[in-house]
Amino acid sequence: MTMFEGRTVLLTGATGGFGRAAAHRFYDSGANLVLSDLHDDALTAFASAFDSARVVTLAGSVAQETLASELVALAFDSFGSLDVAVNNAGIGHDMKRLPQIETEEAWKVIEIDLMSVFYALKYQLPALERQFRETGRVASIVNVASVAGVAAAPMVSVYAAAKHGVVGLTKSAALEYVRRGVRVNALCPAFARTPLVMNVLEREVEEKGITLAEAEAHLTRGIPAKRLAEVPEIIEALIFAASPSNSFFTGQTLQVDGGMTAT
């Protein structure tokens, strides 16, 4: 039996860099998948790579509270359980000093990166507690935050504020539910080689007339490892946090950051 055989995994941001890799990893480990992302066409195309008997999808914006409720209901209606929830969807903003960030842009980041996690936890936690009371089955929630959620992040201040908020929600929820059958942890990666990060680097190349290698070196200058993380490295940490055998691990920020927060 594989690690997640017969278990149900809910994953937002399913068509992004981390989302795609996580979905494949959970699926290959035996899980049923409840996948969500903003655009229905992209989500449906991605889901077609899996056995339709083990995957359901629901497109929508995580900034809308109703989506969080509907995803939990979809998991139980489709597969009879919810064992892992990975609240992964998020956005960033252009690198600029705090006063240069438009208020509208700041609210958008807060709504998608922070409020979406609040909505998710609001509906996931009671359902998972109820499942634990009825079946004794312990569930795991992993909120994808960022190293910017545990340290200062100049030039991306609103993003950092939102991710700090995700860490706060994670720790608080973990203590509220540690004896109610739910583990809650935050995954805090540094810059990884995702499409989102590569788009940022390509804009730097275009705007500053530098090479991609120079842009990457500049972006990773604060990382002792002096490189981007590779997506599979981040997914290894995600699987560790979500694993049902990791039953004493809760309320933690799992920093996968090339040594950034070591000092």
At 186, is the secondary structure helix, strand, or coil?
A: strand
Angle, CA 167 vertex, CA 165 and CA 173 arms, to 5°: 100
For residue 225, give every residue at least 6 positions away whose Cβ sits within 8 Å of its Cβ, in sequence order, or none: 258, 259
Instruction: Please answer whether residues 247 and 234 qualify as being in contact, where contact means their C-beta atoms are separated by less than 8 angstroms.
Output: no
Examine the residue annotation and report whether 159 is marked as an active-site residue of this protein.
Answer: yes
Residue 16 φ/ψ, nearest 5 degrees: -80, -175
At 206, is the secondary structure helix, strand, or coil?
A: helix
Cα gap 83→79, rounded to integer Å: 10
Compute, in degrees rounded to 10, the torsion defined by CA atoms 182, 245, 259, 197. -70
Q: Cα dihedral sign for 175, 178, 179, 182?
A: positive
Active-site residue (options: 27, 119, 123, 159): 159
Cα gap 67→86, rounded to integer Å: 14
| Ranges assigned E (strand) in the chain | 8-11, 32-35, 55-57, 84-87, 139-144, 182-189, 253-256
- Which DSSP letter does residue 110 get? I
Active site residues: 159
